[in-house]
Amino acid sequence: MEKFLKIFKRNQVIIGMIHLKALPGTPGYTNNNNEILETALKEAQLYKKAGIDALAIENMHDVPYIKNEVGHEISTMMTLIGSQIKQTTQLPCGIQVLSSANRAAMAVAKAANLDFIRAEGFVFGHLADEGYIDSCAGDLLRYRKQIDAEHIAVFTDIKKKHSSHALTSDISLEETAKTAEYFRSDGLIITGTSTGEEANIEEVNAVKNVCKIPVIVGSGVTLENLKTYLPKADALIVGSWFKEDAYWENALNYDKITRFMEEAKRIRS
């Protein structure tokens, strides 16, 4: 919790997602580097104006994803964007590099002066739509040590969305959480089954009961269920609901962000 509070200065944090336009080399890329950067900065400034607590960037439009590694064209572009967002907003900022490119995310965070990464496949393996994702805790935290980046928090998905966990069906969510904590996770992310799907509040409570590190809700948060999640979680990652029609590909809706943050402040007071 010490690292979490050093980054965010409080708990019950709202983290707004910035879904970057398709990056160089991916099927959806349209040779529009300036537009990619300008759109990301515009969204970051919109979030800050609306009173968001923190930001995270993600290469969500880079479908179809590849697993574990990305090219230098991706990590370089994300470093540029992350650095400028951090300098412009001065907000806590993190990164996820899809899919499960956790070493790349750590390298970007170090170079861009970001505060945290979101890591897939930290403990145990799972089957994702990109293929089998192996656990990475030992490799990732050694890499963090090697590049002198131990101040960067690693928030880890457990029983991750968009994935099959049949191989670990005899390992409970609570046991998975305890293993991630033992393997030095800085925070545990609980999600629903897919993007925009609500996390089970009973699962959030169960993990809070067995672990001492921060618990983060990573999908399905809306204005309507905010009062359910915020008192229980240390942070909420919100993306889809802040968009037009609550769909992740659409533009941010400033009024929705301001209404959400006003309600969050009311609940926290």
Rounded (10°) angle between helices 102-112 and 137-146: 20
In this predicted structure, the answer to whether residue 194 has a pLDDT above a threshold of 60 is: no
pLDDT band at 161 (very low <50, low <70, confident <90, very high): low
pLDDT band at 163 (very low <50, low <70, confident <90, very high): low
**Distances, alpha carbon 157 to alpha carbons 25, 39, 123, 161, 260, in Å:** 27, 27, 9, 8, 24
The angle formed by the CA atoms of residues 119, 121 and 126, to the nearest 5 degrees, is 150
In this predicted structure, the answer to whether residue 147 has a pLDDT above a threshold of 60 is: yes
Higher pLDDT, 130 or 49: 49
Phi, psi of 194 (to 5 degrees): -155, 175
pLDDT band at 197 (very low <50, low <70, confident <90, very high): confident
pLDDT band at 168 (very low <50, low <70, confident <90, very high): low
Report, as an integer, the average pLDDT of 42-66: 97
Q: Give the pLDDT confidence of 20-29 residue by residue, as tens digits.
A: 999 999 999 9
Rounded Cα distance between 36 and 163, Å, is 29
In this predicted structure, the answer to whether residue 192 has a pLDDT above a threshold of 80 is: no
Q: Give the pLDDT confidence of 81-103 residue by residue, as tens digits.
A: 999 999 999 999 999 999 999 99
Round the average pLDDT of the chain to a whole number and report it. 94
- The structure's pTM equals 0.95
In this predicted structure, the answer to whether residue 195 has a pLDDT above a threshold of 70 is: no
**Two tokens at 251?**
């533009």
